[in-house]
Amino acid sequence: MRSLHIRDVGEPVLERLRRLAALHHRSLQGEVRAILEEASRRAPCDGEGDGLDLVTVETGRDDAWSREALYGDDAR
């Protein structure tokens, strides 16, 4: 397994990380690893475009949306 060494982390950041680690019953190293794993899940994988997750939402409206209804113009 690879290692990562991070230099010049300020004491306030370290203290907050220690508090988070204690809240999650983890070591400081375990907390940082969990944070990095969560952040890496948000990064797009190879071939996944820009990483946006598009979702269709039901609005409860039956009518179709038109440019004119949205912008009040005639699609100039």
How many structural domains are present in the chain?
1
Q: Looking at the domain assignment, is residue 43 inside a domain?
A: yes
Confidence at residue 75, expressed as pLDDT on a 0 to 100 scale: 57
CA–CA distances in Å: residue 37 to residues 30, 34, 42, 45: 10, 5, 9, 14
Q: Looking at the domain assignment, is residue 27 inside a domain?
A: yes
**Residue of higher predicted confidence among 51 and 22:** 22
Q: Looking at the domain assignment, is residue 32 inside a domain?
A: yes
CB atoms under 10 Å from CB of 20, counted, come to 15
Residue 25 binned pLDDT confidence (cut-offs 50, 70, 90): very high
Give me the mean pLDDT over the 62-67 stretch.
73
Q: Looking at the domain assignment, is residue 2 inside a domain?
A: no
Give me the mean pLDDT over the 5-23 stretch.
95
Confidence at residue 33, expressed as pLDDT on a 0 to 100 scale: 95
Q: Looking at the domain assignment, is residue 4 inside a domain?
A: no
Domain residues for the domain of 62 are 11-71
